Amino acid sequence: MSPKVLSAARRLSAMAMVAYFGMSFRKGAVTAFSFATFAGRSTGTRGTSTLASSAHPAFAPRTPLRRTGVDVCMSTAVAEKSDIEKAMDVEHPAYEVIRKDFVQEYGAATTLYRHKKSGAELLSVASDDDNKVFGITLRTPPEDSTGVPHILEHSVLCGSRKYKTKDPFVQLLQGSLQTFLNAFTYPDRTCYVVASQNEKDFYNLVNVYADAVFHPRAISDPMVHAQEGWHLELEKKEDPLIFKGVVYNEMKGVYSSPDSLLNRAAQRSIFPDTTYGVDSGGDPKVIPDLSFEQFAEFHSKFYHPTNSRIYFSGDDDVYTRLELMDEYLQEFDFSPESKPGSVVEWQKKVYTEPKKEQYPYPVGADQPETHMVMVNWLMNDRPLTSFEELTIGIMDHLLMGTSSSILRKTLTESGLGEAITGGGLSDELLQATFSVGLKGVKPEDAPKVEQLIFDTLDKVIAEGFEEDDIASSMNTIEFELREFNTGSFPKGLSFMLGAMSKWLYDESPTEALKFEKPLAELKAKIAESGSQVFQDMIKEFIVDNKHRTTVELVPSRTLEAEELKEEEDRLAAIKASLSDEELEEIIEKTRKLKELQAAEDTPEERATIPALELKDLKRENTEYPIAVSENESGSGVTVLRHELASTSGIAYATLGVDLSGLSVDDIPLLPIFTRIMMETGAGEYDQVALSRQIGIHTGGISVSTLTTAVHPEGSDEDKVLDGTHLQTKLTIRGKATSDKTDKLFSLMELILTEAKIDSKARIVEMLKEQRSRLESSIRGSGHAAANMRMKARYRVGGYVDEMMSGITQLEATKELLKQAEEDWPSLLARLENMRNAILNSETCRNGMFLDITGDAGVLEKIQPSVDSFLQELPGKSDGAKLPNFYKEEHPWVPRLKELMAERVPMEDEGFVVPTQVSYVGKGGLVFEEGETVTGAAQVVARFLRTGYLWDYVRVMGGAYGGFCTFSPYSGFFSFLSYRDPNLSKTIDVYDAAADAVLAAAEQLKNDPDALAQAIIGTIGDMDGSMSPDQKGYTSLQRWLINESAEYRQNYRNQILDTKPEDFKAFGERLKQLKQPSVAVVSSQGAFEAAAKDGKNMKLKTVL
């Protein structure tokens, strides 16, 4: 067994970005997601290490283990069942029970049912989790790259038999307390998932999704296929034809990313004969080959209940689940051809010799012409045992899991490239693959990369892994499996994705979730023969495996222009082949589609969407416990404690150290400085040994920065901050079981004080990797770069963020790399001065805090370790005091203001990258310093995002995402688009938004239900589920910014009491947006076209 639940949880933070900003996630198995939102809730942290080896589990399951279930056979040694276990015995006349199983690892009682009439399978998971999850998954293996499963995934949610609006998905986004609402396409399946902590809301979501999947409007209305997939657009006969469509433009963005091109080419290369060899997301060159008839036929073939796998989990009633789904399933008869027709065929290892393939990728004028190289293996062409799956997962961690893992480290330090590609194991599909390589490779070094990979693997087979490496990786995986920390995302979703890795292929859904038996077996093997089990795996599945490909991408400065011309020529040829009547028909279809898209749903149609009422909401804001102990035990350090009901024996700790003593000129070094602290070794430990110590003794340690504007003492929290009062901290975060916190604290102190910052070769490699990551980020997530750039123009805090994460950071990284290579002593001196300033013995303790989250037992048990840690920290306990940043301006502010005026002036900017799409941003201040902001502003901003911008940027404009952001602290408001085919038109949409808000204000006077839905959705954003560490960290952040519980409650009250007049007031402010400015990431051609429309920007080539 592989740790499938863990794999799913690891990908959830990426899913969040997908959902919130509409990004497509490729690593692993997911091809694409529907654009949705998690309301920007914070994601969970991923630990990098784990629990010390022990004969006993560190964490008991949430429900006491009473029995182990296999099929229907249950142990009779139990006198009494828990309520959760009783749920396995629920029966319903419409279903037969296939299997009952209690998954002891997660305290989950599961029953697998089969609906007698339709043949649908339903997995019911009963647990004490109030974050209830529902999902429908269908096997949808495509035969070509038209993207039909992806287009259908989008289209299914555009109205159904019972729910008549043109986009019920949006209505759910607007007025639900959902904690997850999305759909996603894999190469072989499509998943529709909802979650909510509110039972009424949950069943509303379930009903809408179930009706959408089985009875979508899309299969009878070609306009949906045209909107979500592709269509020819023409408004005037003399205009050129263009391709338009949400998925079409989304995938143009994907195919603009070199990383995506590499991953797709690699998958095609190792799956030449099966569905995995085509792109379920869709190739933009092939998408226009998909007809409406083929689209509808795909639904008919694969969306029958017989081919479905339906999932429920949480604390709701099992019989209610079964009854609800029976209402949808009972009208379908069993379809004998559905499951056989969707079987995913095995790719046999047919290569007798490894294959090599080469493809071009687009580079910009300022980019070096380097290659990307990746070696890929198809690991298995037979089912793996649970033991093999787990062992391969640990093997992957040993090779690639951390920066000190042997294969990753060897490649990174080789000097042959700038950053790792591939990432190792992907095991969420029928067959596992392993891919690794480098990008930023000189042409003559490409063969050397391939050879280095082989040599390193041969060395591992010959020499094996060190005992400490094995202990570290084993403990890392075990800690994560037992902690089961999915952050703010539903545990049930992670459970579902893990179960699907077996269930989808007609195996037991629960076997993929059990790790105790294979883990014990693996531990026994290691005790018997040490590293040999991993050496044997590497030899069998990788080194001796001839089904291997090497994919090399070569740079092309003309590829972008060539593909654009190819599309223009194709469209010109189509137009030339059409008669005048046919052109008029396209013009008429274009008009009708735009008319349909602009049309409002009728009140009767809206009334079909089930909704909550305001009375269903709780008025009280959720607060998390905090106890503040200043100068604890005379240490000079402030200690904060968050005592929660249960943290499963884990202590979560954050050490904060003040950064105000740093020079402003060194702020851009902080990202690399924090990486150096973790990745070059510390004290007696080199890089590898430090990683081992973290892995063996803790659940992970990370170093980052935390900078935020704060409320000055005595200020009115409702008013916009001037941004000159800041808290700037370096934070070291870690977690461990309570009996290991002494080691956790010891490692944190060592990393803080004795990190090896003098490793030139390693730091040069890190800077190259950082440059590559930033370039990929700006190219693939240009909306984030644009937003950061705009915020940098208005507040010093925004500029600090841009200096550390945005386009300014990319520029700084390039300069730092040059300095490291050409003048290492001066860069080393800067790094040493930074550490000296941070650890100034006179002031550092005064600026420190230690934040701890745990349950009562944990907090009591770790207190001696806390006392020792406080005494061992650097600095004088009675040293000088730092300025009170809640009263005084932060010392960085004057210099930051000078740099802002010089480097990020208030002007419209365009950043040129090789891409087929645009990321369009426009922002400004809707509230100025000292003006009062109420919670109602949040309601209006959200209304804009899920209404007007969705309709005009996404639905009518064809972009994959259109949204806005608003900060009540700074008064800053921004419009953003993602993978947008337009530039100039999108800015026009932004400019008309204020009038749309004013019109909405009038409409809402006569539509209290719509206003209520806007309020409910906003409250839903605030009330997401959190893991224990997130609760503690949220409480820390609230304390740090000096925000009171009274303010939070008042803000919530203002949201709940929002009136139409608040929309009018916000609309008037938006119409008079102060100091508006634009930032866009796009291609040179798009900027030239925008200039012809009068949208002139100062252009800068980034890539």
Active site residues: 153, 228
What's the CA gap between 191 and 865, in Å, rounded? 46
Residue pointed to by tokens 């990008």: 439
CA distances from 50 to 439, 704, 736, 977 (A): 30, 20, 7, 40
Angle formed at CA 603 by CA 601 and CA 608, multiple of 5 degrees: 85
What's the CA angle centered on 889, arms 888 and 895, to 5 degrees?
155
Task: Of 928, 812, 853, 384, give the one whose Cα is nearest residue 624.
Answer: 853
Under a CB-based contact definition with an 8 Å cutoff, are residues 46 and 10 in contact?
Answer: yes
DSSP string, 30-49: --EE-----TTPPPPPPPS-
What are residue 1081's DSSP bridge partners? 911, 919
Structure tokens at 133: 């999850």
Count of alpha carbons within 13 Å of 607, Cβ hemisphere only? 5
CA trace torsion 4, 5, 8, 9 (10° rounding): -140
Contacts for 603 with CB less than 8 Å, ≥ 6 apart: 1007
Joined together, the tokens standing for residue 186 give: 């894999």
133 membership: H or E segment, kind and range: strand 132-139
Q: What is the dihedral of CA 1008, 1012, 1013, 1014, to 10 degrees?
A: 100
CB atoms within 10 A of CB 646: 13
Work out whether strand 1074-1082 and strand 909-912 pair parallel, antiparallel, or are unpaired.
Answer: parallel
Q: Using CA atoms in the order 86, 92, 96, 102, what is the torsion angle rounded to 10 degrees? A: -20
Q: Alpha helix (H) ranges present in 464-612?
A: 467-483, 491-503, 516-529, 532-538, 559-576, 580-598, 603-606
Q: Counting beta carbons within 10 angstroms of the beta carbon of residue 168, is it exposed (0 to 12), middle (13 to 18) or buried (19 or more)? A: buried
| DSSP code of residue 288 | G
- β-strand pairing of 95-103 with 108-115: antiparallel
How does DSSP assign 713-765, residue by residue?
TT--TTBPP-S--EEEEEEEEEEEEGGGHHHHHHHHHHHHHHB----HHHHHH
Amino acid in position 923? G
The helix (run of H) or strand (run of E) holding residue 155 is helix 148-156
Tokens of 507: 């195996």
Strand partners, 548: 377
Residue type, 67: R
Helix or strand run (H / E) with residue 324: helix 318-329
Interhelix angle for 807-822 vs 796-805, to 10°? 50
Return d(Cα 833, Cα 852) in angstroms, integer.
30
Do residues 983 and 1080 make contact, with C-beta atoms less than 8 angstroms apart? yes
- Helix and strand tally (H, E) in the chain? 40, 27
Token readout for 722 is: 């001037």
Residue 1079 dihedral angles phi and psi, to the nearest 5°? -140, 130
Q: Is 55 helix (H, G, I), strand (E, B) or coil?
A: coil
- Identity (one letter) of the amino acid at 5? V
